[in-house]
Structure 1
Amino acid sequence: MDSAAIDRFEASRSRLASLAYRLLGSAGDAEDAVQDAFLRWQAADRDRIEVPEAWLTKVVTNLCLDQLRSAHARYERAVGDLLPEPLLQGDPMLGPAETVEQRESVSLAVLTVMQRLAPVERAAYVLREAFSYPHAEIAGILDISESASQQHVHRARRRVAAERPGGGRAADPASARRVVEEFLTAATSGRVDQLVAMLTADATMVSDGAGLAKRLLRFTTREQIAATVRAGFRPTPAKRRLAGGSVALHLTDVNGTPAVAAVVDGRVAGVVVFELRDGQVASLCGIGAADRLTRLNTVWGQHEPGAPLVAEW
């Protein structure tokens, strides 16, 4: 393959990776899908491909759909119920972020809802909301009619709006930071009543139990969530031993929403991601499984995180 063909593919790699990530919820799986697309690009009769970008988009989308439809993927969604892989703000795999729809389409809350959509419905939603494809092009990519594309996107939008824990537009960054700082202060100081007051009436929490739980842990009352958060943020010698050292708590952004990262010797050991609504916490998502933090840690090591909110926890 000549250098021009390689350059043409590389010019699309970042966009293809962000598409695959939104569809699969895993950075590693997204990278594998893009690499498979490269191999198909390499073997293709490229002289007969009129619009390379459209061809590559269709190939990557179909590779992701094949994975989502596989028996293994169906089993994981039904039984394993994995959380989407969190990505640090600034990671190119997060993709376009010019519009509100693009930013929200990659939030952990929306990615979690999308896991429950039918594969074609999910693909149509991503292509429309995150990449602004017209329905005629989506129909060509997914081999469906234009009206079917419109129906898939409409149903997906309605379900995301109904099931997304935050349920609304993101708060401005300064306000979000203040809310998360106050929440963390209450959690580390043991003020459970304040935690309850800072949660919306319909707040939810999901966690992988610091990577140790076989199934996701779910909490649906403010009292449960507050007690769990307080227990999780209560420092003990045993937790420090489990983490591998003294923990620093940093405020950061993950998938476009505020998060607290627990950092040990420059390595992120876990993140808690927040969804806010009207100045309160609408949902929390705790992720500590090491294999879900691999890419986040790679990006974390490439930037200066700044001073922690809690220097030694």
Structure 2
Amino acid sequence: MASPDWLTEGFETNRGRLRAVAYRMLGSLTEADDAVQEAWLRVARADASEVDNLSAWLTTIVARVCLNALRSRNARREEPLDVHVPDPVITRADEPNPEDQALLADSVGLALQVVLETLTPAERLAFVLHDTFGLPFEEIAPMVDRSPAAARQLASRARRRVRGADVHSPDRDVVRQREVVDAFFAAAHGGDFDALVAVLDPDVVSRIDAGAGALIPSGVLHGAATVARQTLAIASIAAPKHPVLVNGAAGVVITLGGQPVAVMGFTVSGGKVVEINSIVDPDRIRRLDLSVLDD
């Protein structure tokens, strides 16, 4: 059996990657941390003496834990959630720390996480492990009890869903993203409908996850005029805002009386806001890591 010290060191070296896999799979930072811990318990009991590729082996273990968690989640959920925005990764507005950078590597932002929520557990595993983390289908197939060819089909179906959802990659220049987001709020607080529409893509999507205790309802709005009207209707209560990065892209945390009440992630592509994902669910807000506001 492999040395416990060797396994412990190898696991800690790969912890950032394993947490990133779990986050892509589960869309929840808390559940991702639980999955990594469960994976470690399995690793500690396993015989790793014949493991040639430790990183791939550990990835397989955490992926199996996540697959079971997704299947259990779907079995418990009697009705699909109307609107669900996955847990955002909230970091400093200037630069993520190294741990957050590992978590966000190869991500196209919160918009992709939203689409991943619509996939079946098997599709999500095949897509995440192959398209994001480069595992071959020969290693993915046993996890979903399918042949490599069938696992390839799972990833292909997931890929079509992602393409069909028209997920935009954010503009690379975060400073420019921030300028567009600042223009959005300036227009909103100034009550300038035309200026607000001007910073929105004509097909912009605004998604609000409000849970059960928020002042505004959950919902998905489409189109610049519709999103602008809704934004102006609630702009009077949206003070003050704190610039942050949400999954590596420009975003804000909104506070009232010094308490966080909303997290908004913006996808800015082609110099326009193409998607807004907001969490205003008080219970969700309380569970998010917002320590960045203390910096």
Q: What is the TM-score normalised by the length of structure 1?
A: 0.80
Q: What do you get for the CA RMSD once the two structures are aligned?
A: 2.8
Across the two proteins, how many residue pairs are aligned to each other?
286
Residue 196 of structure 2 aligns to a residue whose secondary structure is: helix
Letter in 2 for 1:194: A
Residue 251 of structure 1 aligns to a residue whose secondary structure is: strand
Task: Quote the residue 1:181 is aligned against.
Answer: 182
The one of 252, 267, 274 equivalent to 2:244 is 252
Letter in 2 for 1:144: R
Matched, 1:18 2:11: no
Change (3 A) 1:299 1:133: farther
Task: Quote the residue 1:286 is aligned against.
Answer: 278
Residue 205 of structure 2 aligns to a residue whose secondary structure is: strand
Paired with 1:37 and 1:8, the residues of 2 have a C-alpha distance of: 13
Counting only pairs closer than 5 Å after superposition, residues 1-313 of structure 1 correspond to structure 2 as: 2-70=4-72, 72=74, 75=77, 78-79=80-81, 81-89=83-91, 90=96, 92=99, 95=102, 102-104=106-108, 107-139=109-141, 141-164=143-166, 166-168=167-169, 170-209=171-210, 212-213=213-214, 216-235=218-237, 247-263=239-255, 268-293=260-285, 294-301=287-294, 304=295
1:295 Cα deviation after fit: 4.1
Residue 286 of structure 1 aligns to a residue whose secondary structure is: strand
Task: Report if aligned partners of 2:27, 2:86 keep a CA contact under 8 Å in 1.
Answer: yes
Identity over aligned pairs, percent: 33
Change (3 A) 1:26 1:161: same
Letter in 2 for 1:297: L
Task: Report if aligned partners of 2:213, 2:282 keep a CA contact under 8 Å in 1.
Answer: no
Task: Report if aligned partners of 2:85, 2:278 keep a CA contact under 8 Å in 1.
Answer: no
Residue 95 of structure 1 aligns to a residue whose secondary structure is: helix
Paired with 1:269 and 1:185, the residues of 2 have a C-alpha distance of: 19
Letter in 2 for 1:79: L
The answer to which of 33-42 and 19-28 deviates more is: 33-42
Structure 2: any 5+ residue segments left out of the alignment?
A: none
Change (3 A) 1:10 1:71: closer
1:266 Cα deviation after fit: 6.8
Task: Report if aligned partners of 2:83, 2:209 keep a CA contact under 8 Å in 1.
Answer: no
Residue 132 of structure 1 aligns to a residue whose secondary structure is: coil
Letter in 2 for 1:261: V
Letter in 1 for 2:158: A
Task: Report if aligned partners of 1:205, 1:225 keep a CA contact under 8 Å in 2.
Answer: yes
Residue 282 of structure 1 aligns to a residue whose secondary structure is: strand
1:41 Cα deviation after fit: 1.4
Change (3 A) 1:80 1:59: farther
Paired with 1:297 and 1:79, the residues of 2 have a C-alpha distance of: 24
Deviation string, structure 1 residues 259-290 (Cα, Å, up to 9, x no partner): 12214677643211111232221121111234
Change (3 A) 1:299 1:82: same
1:69 Cα deviation after fit: 1.4
Deviation string, structure 1 residues 129-151 (Cα, Å, up to 9, x no partner): 32222333333554533323332
Change (3 A) 1:111 1:14: same
Residue 79 of structure 1 aligns to a residue whose secondary structure is: coil
Residue 146 of structure 2 aligns to a residue whose secondary structure is: coil
Paired with 1:211 and 1:275, the residues of 2 have a C-alpha distance of: 26
Residue 206 of structure 1 aligns to a residue whose secondary structure is: strand
1:58 Cα deviation after fit: 1.4
Task: Report if aligned partners of 1:86, 1:296 keep a CA contact under 8 Å in 2.
Answer: no
Change (3 A) 1:163 1:109: same
Residue 147 of structure 1 aligns to a residue whose secondary structure is: helix
1:155 Cα deviation after fit: 2.4
Q: What is the TM-score normalised by the length of structure 2?
A: 0.84
Task: Report if aligned partners of 1:207, 1:216 keep a CA contact under 8 Å in 2.
Answer: yes
